[in-house]
Chains A and B, each alone.
Chain A
Amino acid sequence: MSDSKNLDAKTHGVLYIGMDLGTSRTSVSASNGVRETVFSVVGYPKDVVSQKLLKKDVLYGKEALDKRLSLRMYKPLEKGVLKYTGEAKDPEAKANLKAAQDLIGEAIRLARPRADELVYCVIGAPAEASVRNREAIIEAAKAHVDAVMLCSEPFSVAYGMDMLEDVLVVDIGAGTTDLCRMHGTMPEEADQVMFDVAGDAVDAELARRIEQSCPGAQFTTQMVKEIKERWGFVGDAPEKCLVDLPVDGKPTQFDITDQIRAACSVLIDPICKGITKLIATFDPEFQARLKNRVLLAGGGSMVRGLDSAIEKAMRERLGGGKVVRIEEPIYGGANGALKIAHDMPAEYWEQLK
């Protein structure tokens, strides 16, 4: 079919959505200009009393976190993939699948589609998610959209920036860090590396260090996550990290500058190992170009100084390299997925309806 026909067919009446379904956050970019993000948590009232009090059947994101004491909380994604795999028969796994379906539905609603428009959605999934897990994501999404496609998350970041050749994308999420080298075609298995040292690992390390060095301090995982998002850095400290944590109910100030630096630094070594692996196995003629085009994306890339720290480590291991942080780490994946949805020929979408 000709291009001109594609242009005609893809006119008004379809809302295109790019979605980054992440362990920590789910972000959407839509063809109506809406961009939204929601924490990937879903809460259901624990009983009739809390349901009457909350006046809702399901709560999402920050609202769910704020009311978590009255809710059964679900974080349906773990290490970048759905906890439900289709094999599990236990009620908890089924509840996680339901939570994932509801979360995707909420993300679609946040994009504010018109009731009379079809919704075509591209969802970014971790590079090495299993086939069964991909199927589960598709099944969860089908309830809310007219057609859905999955693509590799780091690939969608690169596509969104129109950097398809000789680029190495490092997408640091909460559950996983995905690396993907682009060489003008669809990346294959050998072009991708995934490991689970990511945002959640930094939180766990920071919690461990605070527990050791701040006697009596009380905190939750959510508090640690907020501290990391506010102060996270590696290398030279831009300022002292002074935080108030309760000790026996009394807010007490602690200087946790060193603990934050050390916790965030856990990202550097595995990322450098991944970069080294992907560069070392690339065509020797293009290795120099690849190592000078490393893109940092995902929420984890917002750790201050991470780009410089990776460059420093690359100088030691690879003799040099250039790392660039993308401008919008939270929406990079969703923007790329939206661009794929936009560029996908209409007849391809028809086949998936």
Chain B
Amino acid sequence: MGGLKDSLRDAIRQLAFRTSLDRLRKQGVKQVNVLGLDRIIALIDAAVHTSLKSRLVDADREVVADATKAEFLRLLRSNEDLQREKSEIEKVRERTQEELDALRRELAQQQSALRVRLERDEPGAAARWQGEDAAIARKVAAVVQDLAAAGEAPVVAAALEARVVELVMDVVAGERRAGESVRKQLADRDVAMMQQRIEKLSQALALTEHKLQQVSAQRSLDAGISSIYREVQGLAASDTRVEAKKGIMAAILAENLRLQKRGTA
């Protein structure tokens, strides 16, 4: 009996919901009637016994009461198992959904990074080089002007400036070509890696989506359909062949008992 009371208490706690007095007040509730757990349990117990008392004789009552309690505990346990199973499946589904969302976000980030990377390469280089060229030319001109000021003929200085600029540009262009080649190799490697990562992410996304579909389709989520038979079981006394059918049922049982005893022997 203690087990039943504990289980009833747990069941009532599980079914109850928690709220605050403030919230109740906001809903317009001014007074509440309190019914203790022990009182509810006692009421259920009394209801079961009263119902049994009105329908059964003493000898049967205890047997049926025990059977009812056992059945109640079994149903409660099975209900708890079901709830647990359901909540586990829902957790898996939520986890998979979160995983899916994270993968989608990651994929979008990677694709955007790749786009930025590809866009920023070409146009910047030309402008940068133009600026560098102008700065080098200015520096060479300043050197030549200093030389001219020191006493060289302006015509010679101009020819010298042109020659120096040509030499410097030649060297710089060579260096730029080598640097650009290295930079392109590095960029290509980055892009290839990003593309591989995006491909992998896409695969993971497809896999996770499939997993989500599988979890959603799991049969355990199907609670099944209850039997529609309630109180119309067994042979009806009004059946015209009730006696013959009773005999047939007994014969089927005897044959099956024989078979099953033989099987376990």
CA distance A135 to B257 in the complex (A): 11
Give every chain B residue within 8 A of A15 (Cβ-Cβ): 226-227
B184 to chain A minimum Cβ distance, whole angstroms, is 41
Give every chain A residue within 8 A of B229 (Cβ-Cβ): 10-12, 14, 16, 31, 342
CA distance A132 to B78 in the complex (A): 35
Given A14-B227, A112-B225, A138-B263, A7 and B234 touching (CB < 8 A)? yes
Q: Which residues of chain B in 115-148 are interfacial with respect to chain A, using CB atoms and an 8 Å cutoff?
A: none
Residue in A closest to B74 when the chains form the complex, CB atoms: A116
Q: Is B235's CB within 8 Å of the partner chain A?
A: yes
Q: Which residues of chain A in 110-140 are interfacial with respect to chain B, using CB atoms and an 8 Å cutoff?
A: 112-117, 131, 134-135, 138-139
Do A33 and B234 touch (CB < 8 A)? no
Do A344 and B226 touch (CB < 8 A)? no
Contact of B227 among A117, A135, A184 (CB under 8 A): A117
CA distance A3 to B241 in the complex (A): 15
Q: Is B112's CB within 8 Å of the partner chain A?
A: no
Q: Is B237's CB within 8 Å of the partner chain A?
A: yes
Q: Is A352's CB within 8 Å of the partner chain B?
A: yes
Contact of A10 among B55, B224, B234, B255 (CB under 8 A): B234
Best-surrounded residue of B222, B227, B253 (most CB of chain A within 10 A) = B227
Give every chain A residue within 8 A of B44 (Cβ-Cβ): none
Give every chain A residue within 8 A of B71 (Cβ-Cβ): 13
Given A151-B252, A186-B248, A343 and B81 touching (CB < 8 A)? no
Do A185 and B244 touch (CB < 8 A)? yes
Q: Which residues of chain A in 317-353 are interfacial with respect to chain B, using CB atoms and an 8 Å cutoff?
A: 340, 342-346, 348, 351-352
Q: Is B231's CB within 8 Å of the partner chain A?
A: yes
Do B262 and A135 touch (CB < 8 A)? yes
Majority secondary structure, A binding face: mixed
Give every chain B residue within 8 A of A351 (Cβ-Cβ): 253, 257
Given A55-B214, A131-B259, A114 and B226 touching (CB < 8 A)? yes
Count A-B pairs with CB separation below 8 Å.
Answer: 128
Give every chain B residue within 8 A of A16 (Cβ-Cβ): 227, 229
Q: Is B251's CB within 8 Å of the partner chain A?
A: yes
Give every chain A residue within 8 A of B55 (Cβ-Cβ): 8
Give every chain A residue within 8 A of B224 (Cβ-Cβ): 32, 112-115, 117
Q: Is B169's CB within 8 Å of the partner chain A?
A: no
Q: Is B260's CB within 8 Å of the partner chain A?
A: yes
Q: Is A109's CB within 8 Å of the partner chain B?
A: yes
Give every chain A residue within 8 A of B78 (Cβ-Cβ): 115-116
Give every chain B residue within 8 A of A7 (Cβ-Cβ): 231-234
A105 to chain B minimum Cβ distance, whole angstroms, is 12
CA distance A30 to B229 in the complex (A): 10
Do A164 and B225 touch (CB < 8 A)? no
Residue in B closest to A149 when the chains form the complex, CB atoms: B256
Give every chain B residue within 8 A of A13 (Cβ-Cβ): 71, 75, 227
- Hey, what's the 0/1 contact readout for B188-221 against A, CB within 8 Å counting as 1? 0000000000000000000000000010000100
Do B79 and A116 touch (CB < 8 A)? yes
Best-surrounded residue of B219, B225, B233, B237 (most CB of chain A within 10 A) = B233
Do B257 and A343 touch (CB < 8 A)? no
Give every chain B residue within 8 A of A343 (Cβ-Cβ): 234-235, 245, 249
Residue in B closest to A122 when the chains form the complex, CB atoms: B252
CA distance A7 to B235 in the complex (A): 9
Give every chain A residue within 8 A of B82 (Cβ-Cβ): 115-116
Give every chain A residue within 8 A of B259 (Cβ-Cβ): 131, 134-135, 138, 150
Give every chain A residue within 8 A of B79 (Cβ-Cβ): 116
B74 to chain A minimum Cβ distance, whole angstroms, is 8
Contact of B225 among A34, A149, A340, A352 (CB under 8 A): A34
Contact of B241 among A55, A114, A164 (CB under 8 A): A164
CA distance A55 to B223 in the complex (A): 23
CA distance A113 to B237 in the complex (A): 29
CA distance A9 to B231 in the complex (A): 9
Do A11 and B225 touch (CB < 8 A)? no
Do A32 and B262 touch (CB < 8 A)? no
Q: Is B247's CB within 8 Å of the partner chain A?
A: yes
- Hey, what's the 0/1 contact readout for B15-47 against A, CB within 8 Å counting as 1? 000000000000000000000000000000000
Give every chain B residue within 8 A of A212 (Cβ-Cβ): none
Q: Is A6's CB within 8 Å of the partner chain B?
A: yes
Do B253 and A149 touch (CB < 8 A)? yes
B248 to chain A minimum Cβ distance, whole angstroms, is 5
Q: Which residues of chain A in 1-57 are interfacial with respect to chain B, using CB atoms and an 8 Å cutoff?
A: 3, 6-16, 30-34, 55
Do A12 and B252 touch (CB < 8 A)? no
Do A131 and B262 touch (CB < 8 A)? yes
Residue in B closest to A340 when the chains form the complex, CB atoms: B252
Do B226 and A346 touch (CB < 8 A)? no
Given A7-B234, A13-B71, A116-B79, A31 and B227 touching (CB < 8 A)? yes
Give every chain B residue within 8 A of A11 (Cβ-Cβ): 229-231, 233
B: which residues have CB within 8 A of A?
55, 71, 75, 78-79, 81-82, 85, 214, 219, 222-235, 237, 241, 244-245, 247-253, 255-257, 259-260, 262-263
Q: Can you list 23 A-B contacts with CB-CB less than 8 angstroms, sorted by A residue number?
A: A7-B233, A7-B234, A8-B231, A10-B229, A10-B233, A11-B231, A12-B230, A31-B228, A32-B224, A109-B219, A112-B224, A115-B85, A116-B78, A135-B262, A149-B252, A150-B259, A151-B252, A342-B233, A343-B245, A344-B234, A344-B253, A345-B234, A348-B250
A: which residues have CB within 8 A of B?
3, 6-16, 30-34, 55, 109, 112-117, 131, 134-135, 138-139, 149-151, 159, 164, 184-186, 340, 342-346, 348, 351-352
**A55-B214, A348-B249 provided; 11 other pairs, C-beta below 8 A?**
A6-B235, A7-B234, A11-B231, A12-B227, A134-B259, A149-B256, A150-B256, A164-B244, A184-B244, A342-B233, A344-B253
